[in-house]
Structures are given as C-alpha cells and as structure tokens.
Structure 1
Amino acid sequence: MNTTKILRVISSMHPSNGGPCQGIRNAIPYFQKAGITTEVVCMDDENSHYSITDNFTIYKVGNGKTSYQYQPELLKWLKNNILNYDSIIVHGLWQYHNFAVYKTIELLKKQNLKIPKVIIMPHGMLDPYFQKATDRKWKALRNNLVWTLIEKKCINQADAIFYTCEEEMRLAATTFKSYKPKKVSNVGYGIQMPPENKDILRDDFYKIYPEIKNKRYLLFLSRIHEKKGVDLLINAYNELFQKNKDLPDLVIAGPTTSEYAQQMIKLASHNPKIHFSGMLTGNAKWGAFYNCEAYLLPSHQENFGIAIVEAMACKKPVLITKNVNIWNEINEGGGGWIVNLEEKRELENNLSEIIKNSEEDFAAKGYKAFETYKNKFDIETCANKFIQTLKNV
C-alpha cells in the first residue's frame, strides 16, 4: 500500500506527558521526508497551549471524562474524517480513543466502504507487570473487565500491532487470554541525537544545582515513583556508603512533590552524598547526562525508557534491570550493567563494581552504549523501519 496520509490517535499530545507523544514528534520529520503526511487527533482541550510549536496538524476534541478519558466528540470527529487517511495509528490502550477507532471502523465495514488500515501501538500497556504488581490489584481487575469487553476486540480486529522492541512483543502475548492479533511487528523506537556537549549545558546544570559542581556523580533521572525502584537504589547506595565514604555522589533528578518522593528524600536524609535536584529540562538535563559517570534506573517495569537511551546517546553506560524491555539490546552491546531484581543484593553488588571503574573504563563502556544507540535506537533508522513495515500491512 502506498501510504500517503496517516492519522495518529492518542489521548494527549501535551509535551509534559512525554513518552508516546514525544515519540510522535521525533518521528514525524522522517515521515515528511518520505512524502507521508501525518496528522494527530487527541483529547486535549481545544484552548490548551503547548510549550512548543509543532509543524504538523493536531486536532483537539476536548478533555475526556474519568481515567478512561471518555469523550464522545472524538467519535463524531472520527466518523466525519477517518476516510481522509490511508492508515490510523492508535497509541496506547485502556482509554476511550482506542474503542472510538474500533467502533468507527466497524460502522464503516457495514457500509462496504474502503477503510483505512488500523495499527495499534500498546507502548508497553500489555506488559504482564501491570496485572501482577501487588499495588495494582483493583486496576488489574478493571483491566481484565475492559479487556474482555473492549480491548480484546480492538487488538484482534486491528490490521497489525506494532511494538517498540522484541521483549515488549514477547511479553504482550503472555498477559491475557484470547490475544490473537492478525499481525505483530517490532518497529523499534528511537530518539533524536542530543545537543552537542558544550560548556553551557554543564553550566546550566550547575546553576540549578551548584552543590554537585566538580564532583563525580551517578545519575538517576526519571519520575520519582515506586515503579522506578528509587527506594532500592537509595538503600543499596546507603549500604555502600557505610563501607566507602569516597564513592561518587548520587544525583536523583525528578519532581519531588509526590508523597513517595518525599518519603525517598527522608530515606536519603542521613546520607550527604545523595542529592535531589528536582526536575531537570533543556540544557540542565543534558548537562546532567553529559557530566555523570553512569546512568542508573533500577526499574520494576519499563517498556522502553527514553531517558536510558538519552544517556546512551550522551556516551554514558547505563545500569538497568531485566524488567526494562530493551535490556537484551543493551546487554548485547556491552554498554551497561543488567540487574536481576529477584536476586537479593545484586543491585548493591553491581553498584559496588561500578564505583571501582576508572575514568577510562566508564568512557569505554559509554562508547559501547553510544554504538548501541546508533545501531538500535537512532530515530531515523527506527522511523524508516516503521515506514517500511507500515507499507507491508
């Protein structure tokens, strides 16, 4: 199929949501280069303003209601406009926009009209973790119900399901019964090359957090959330600090307003080498990446982990867990350390080995991380793979 016009359907395109909406923004320039027009419809308020300017069309149909994001205006919009597109890419599950696309397509089938191809990208939302985590019992029950009534039909009737990595695709097939998609493909996922490493990046980071200036440090940069394993990291680091007061400092960068974040600050309060910088963006974020010795994310679940790949693109080695779905690619490339959280003290043991690395060791492992980024997670490579896969749906 010679696809010329794509509609992406997503709950929100607000930049603060990161993840899939950032992935869309990263990829669109390469679709444009290939002669493919991309438009987006989302359930943001029509008067909402983003902090960036997009050079593609975004239709905002209004905020949805409840966590399901029910918004009947989206269904109306799709009925009036869906035939203008060759393919529909649905980003994410468990919210109304997925069902609205399914319902619109079913109505068109009854009219014997030529309908666009429908591709769903779950973005990790079919990971079994979300059904097994002890703090998600009620959400897991809700998901079982929604799967039976809605999502199963959406997945199995779509023309294809696109995944961001092999591990996501493998795990998705193990979560729910009656998972029988017509076609599945790993199209990859990528990020743009970070800005060139210049003094201004480092200086802007030090302006925000001068306490770390001229110090060696390890970096955690993400949401400070229980899923990210922040408590595991702090506890392991505290144990090492009792044995070695000369280890590199630990910078934890992320919003600190949540109750959990405040608990983590308290957990680290007796360790003068743990620093909470708050959320970092722009130059300061890249300055933190470029000047750390290694990036750490001991997460309980991560579909892709954009910040992981951003660190790799900055030539920094990464410590992640086997619960991060791109761990195989990173392990094969030799650009990081892989932790099995089921093995007691493995995180602490890995950190103990990491801090023994020389500057040359970090640089060598960081270069391997960068090579993995270029070979596996470069946005142009992934966008071109997506385009070629889409043509064969």
Structure 2
Amino acid sequence: MGLQILHAIITVNPTYGGPIEGIVQTSREHRRRGNSVEILSLDDPDDRLLVQCEFVCHAVGPGLGKYRYSPRLVPWLRANASKFDFIIVNGIWNYTSFGVWRALHGSGIPYYVFTHGMLDPYFKKHYPLKHLKKMLYWPCAEYRVLRDANAVFFTCEEERLLARQSFHPYRCNEHVVNYGTAGAVGDPQMQRELFLSKFPHLRGKRNLLFLGRIHEKKGIDLTLKALAQCVKDAPKDKVNDVQLIIAGPDNGEYASALKALCYELQLTERVTWAGMLGNDLKWGAFFVSDAFVLNSHQENFGVSVAEALSAALPTLITDKVNIWREIEEAGAGFVDTDDLAGAVRLLRRWLGASRAEWADIRTRARECFTSRFHIALSTQSLLDGLAMYAGNEAQAHALRRDSAGTVRRPPLGNQAAVGAASKSSGHPAQ
C-alpha cells in the first residue's frame, strides 16, 4: 500500500494558477508510484468544476468572503486527518492554512506548508494597504501556521531568502525542494495543427507566447510596450511577421485595460487573445511559438516557464522570476530586468539571434527541463523533504514503505517529436 497524501488548498479551480496545477501534476506522478492523493478545498460542494477534478476532492465550502472562512473545515479535518500519512497545505492568507492549524494544533498530527511565493516582499512594496492588514493578522494566524508546521517548503533558494523579508517575527523549518511539471505530452505535430486550425492567421509567423493569469504582476503591459517600440525601431524585415499570443482568462477588468492598450499602441493586428487553453490546444500554442515571454514583476516558480522549456521553447524572462538563475546558467533563454528597458532588450536579443544560436538555445531549453524541472525529480525531492522532517514513526514508516525510495530518472518521453515540432515552427531570424 502506498502513501496516503492530503493536499489542502483554497480551490481546485484551474484559473487559480500554479498551485493547483502543481498539485495535479505531482499527484499524477504519485499515482504512477502507487500513492494515493486527495484534495481538501474550500469550494462549494455543488460547484460543477469539482466534476472536472481528476482526484478525490473534499469540498468543505463555500468559503465566505475573500478569506473564504468555512465552519466545516476544522470538524472535517479532526474527523479525517488520521487517515492520511501526510497533510500538505498549499498557500496562505486564506482560511485553509489557519483552519489546518486550528484542527491539528496539539493533536500530534503533523502538517507541512508550501507558501507558493505568498511571502514575497513584492506584495509588501506594491500593495502597502493590504500588507498593513496582513501585518495585523500575521502574529495570531500565519506566523503560528508556519512556526508549528513540521516543515515549510520553498520551490527555490530565491523564494526562501525573500520570504524572510516580509514579516516579523518569522520562524519555521525552511526546506527547499525541486519543483516542476510533467511537461509536454501527446503528439506535438497534431497539437500544432490543432492550434493553427483555430488560429490560422498565425501559421508561418514568428510567434511570441505568454500563457498564464492575466494579472498586473505578470508585466504583460511591458511586453506590449516593448513590442510596439521594437516594431517602430527595428528594420521591417525583422518584425514584419512577429505576433504575440496572449493565452489566459481574458474577461476581467485588467484584460480589458490591456486590450485598450493594444489599440493605443496600434498592436491590435499583432496580438491574438487566445483565452484559456488546456490539453492539446495549450501544447499546440507552445509548439507554434518561437519564444515564451514573461516580463513578470514577481513569480515564485512559473509552471508555464517549465512547460515552455519542456517543449524546447526558449524563455524571455525577468530576474523577478525566481528560477531565473537556473535558466541563465543553462543558457535556456534570456534574462533581464522587470522594466520597459529590460523588456525591450529581451525582444531585441531575440530578434537579433542567429538561426544557429536559436537552435542551440532550443536544445538547451529541453535539457534544462529534463535535468532540473521534470516532475519525477520534483516529486522525489518532496518525498526526501518529507522524510527529513517526518513528524513521527508512523510517517517515517510510511515513507520507508513507499516504492519511490530512490531518485528515478525522468523519462525522455517524446523528446524527438518535441524537437521535430520545434524545427517546423519557424525561427526568429528568418
């Protein structure tokens, strides 16, 4: 019998972004290893999105207000926590984390926490009023959640160091684990053609891809302004066929402001709003593109960045994406500052790259993913972290009986097909 793992998170809605996607990807790997994963969320039990969740989900909401308080969370945990070998909290600043602390504090049942970048000082600087509210809340809630957790997991060293700067007092068992994703799956050529059948005007173009939440911290406005400047300044043959794909939920207020900015910058004909993409359509977007762009002001990990690397797609990112050092060290893309000047330099480096240089970067991108961000490596890293901080003999025994006691080499999968699809997708120096 494998491990029994419970992930607690505010919602299983995929529009929530990286945390729930990370749970799904890791849980698939656990399932391959013979482990069982269930999810505890503050969703409404009648919400139709629960049907789309491929894992057992215990919805104890609906949570009230932005904090998502639910009186059903603590009683459910007290009745069921002992059934699981490990309980992992994903995210803070909502009732999930404090509810787990309330239910388990003093019970002898340990828990672990992923902060998912929610202690980054970026939020302190850019949302001072919200930070003030959190400062009042911190001592009686989240400080205790982190202090009493067996371990608090960070997805890279940069996140761990930044987390120390936001709130005081601050005390927890910090541990850095590898984080990643399963990467490109399926038939790349079919996925590419599927995407182009929906967006035929992108065939034969040099496509830049942004895929993620449409949020101001993602720096999409910088990407648009940099593209407008390059269109204006660069030789026509360098930018004539450049297109930007923006993939993500685009029906919000901020998305409307970005669409107005596109019109103002005369980029309407160069920007494709693809909406939220999943499965084959999502991978098709990667395979028709020449580079992935993320001018983010704050990014804890960036699952979409790792996904781009898995598709042999070079990344143009800022030094506020916490895995930027790994990307730069691997030569898997370009890195610059999170301002307009940096965004312009990224695009100019992309436009100026030779065909041979770009082919080499594509190869290094895939190698970077396989060696650093494959889900098999990150799952093993998490298990190693759990073993290090196992709260009792029962937990230690559960880890010992797990079949994944040693690091497994990640499968190469369809690497050859990825390479073939990459070569057919065009090149920035055409």
TM-score of the alignment, normalized to the shorter chain, above 0.5:
yes
Matches of residues 130-209 of structure 1 in structure 2 within 5 Å?
130-133=123-126, 136-181=127-172, 183-209=173-199
Return 3-12 or 229-238, whichever deviates more: 3-12
Cα offset for 1:236?
1.0
Cα offset for 1:197?
4.5
Write out per-residue CA displacement over residues 102-145 of structure 1, whole angstroms, 9 at most, x where no aligned residue.
1122252xxxxxx2221111011111111111xx2221112111
Cα offset for 1:231?
1.1
Distance in structure 2 (CA, Å) of the matches to 1:227 and 1:146? 24
The answer to whether residue 378 in structure 2 is matched with residue 387 in structure 1 is no
In the alignment, which residue of structure 1 is the partner of 2:113?
Answer: 120
Q: 2:270 aligns with which of 273, 278, 285?
A: 273
Cα offset for 1:193?
2.7
Cα offset for 1:51?
7.2
Return 194-203 or 143-152, whichever deviates more: 194-203
In the alignment, which residue of structure 1 is the partner of 2:335?
Answer: 338
- Do the aligned residues in 1 keep the contact of 2:117 with 2:300 (CA within 8 Å)? yes
The answer to whether residue 256 in structure 2 is matched with residue 254 in structure 1 is no
- Do the aligned residues in 1 keep the contact of 2:17 with 2:213 (CA within 8 Å)? no
In the alignment, which residue of structure 2 is the partner of 1:311?
Answer: 308
Cα offset for 1:317?
0.5
Calculate percent identity across the aligned residue pairs.
35
Cα offset for 1:3?
8.7
In the alignment, which residue of structure 1 is the partner of 2:428?
Answer: none
Q: 1:371 to 1:201 in 2, by over 3 A?
A: same
Q: Which amino acid aligns with 1:49?
A: R
The answer to whether residue 283 in structure 2 is matched with residue 286 in structure 1 is yes
Distance in structure 1 (CA, Å) of the matches to 2:249 and 2:27? 29
Q: How many residues get paired?
A: 382
The answer to whether residue 42 in structure 2 is matched with residue 46 in structure 1 is no
Instruction: Give me the TM-score of the superposition, normalised by structure 1.
Output: 0.91
Write out per-residue CA displacement over residues 323-360 of structure 1, whole angstroms, 9 at most, x where no aligned residue.
11111111111101111126x62221221121122333
In the alignment, which residue of structure 2 is the partner of 1:22?
Answer: 21
Q: Which amino acid aligns with 2:161?
A: R
Q: 1:237 aligns with which of 227, 243, 261?
A: 227
- Do the aligned residues in 1 keep the contact of 2:87 with 2:110 (CA within 8 Å)? yes
Root-mean-square deviation over aligned CA pairs: 2.0
Instruction: Give me the TM-score of the superposition, normalised by structure 2.
Output: 0.84
- Do the aligned residues in 1 keep the contact of 2:12 with 2:53 (CA within 8 Å)? no
- Do the aligned residues in 1 keep the contact of 2:15 with 2:213 (CA within 8 Å)? no
In the alignment, which residue of structure 2 is the partner of 1:129?
Answer: 122
Cα offset for 1:88?
1.5
Return 195-204 or 74-83, whichever deviates more: 195-204
Distance in structure 2 (CA, Å) of the matches to 1:355 and 1:184? 41
For the residue of structure 2 that corresponds to 1:148, the secondary structure is coil
Write out per-residue CA displacement over residues 24-72 of structure 1, whole angstroms, 9 at most, x where no aligned residue.
1211233344454322211112222337665643211121001101001
Cα offset for 1:75?
0.8
For the residue of structure 2 that corresponds to 1:345, the secondary structure is helix
The answer to whether residue 311 in structure 2 is matched with residue 353 in structure 1 is no
Q: Which amino acid aligns with 2:356?
A: E
Distance in structure 2 (CA, Å) of the matches to 1:77 and 1:274? 47
Q: Which amino acid aligns with 1:100?
A: G
Q: Which amino acid aligns with 1:265?
A: K
Matches of residues 5-20 of structure 1 in structure 2 within 5 Å?
5-20=4-19
For the residue of structure 2 that corresponds to 1:66, the secondary structure is coil
In the alignment, which residue of structure 2 is the partner of 1:362?
Answer: 358
Q: 1:51 to 1:198 in 2, by over 3 A?
A: farther
In the alignment, which residue of structure 1 is the partner of 2:204?
Answer: 214
Distance in structure 1 (CA, Å) of the matches to 2:298 and 2:338? 11
Distance in structure 1 (CA, Å) of the matches to 2:291 and 2:8? 36
List runs of 5+ in structure 1 lacking aligned partners.
109-114
Return 165-174 or 216-225, whichever deviates more: 216-225
Q: Which amino acid aligns with 1:139?
A: K
For the residue of structure 2 that corresponds to 1:355, the secondary structure is helix
Return 212-221 or 243-252, whichever deviates more: 243-252
Distance in structure 2 (CA, Å) of the matches to 1:277 and 1:96? 33
Distance in structure 1 (CA, Å) of the matches to 2:34 and 2:248? 38
List runs of 5+ in structure 2 lacking aligned partners.
390-430
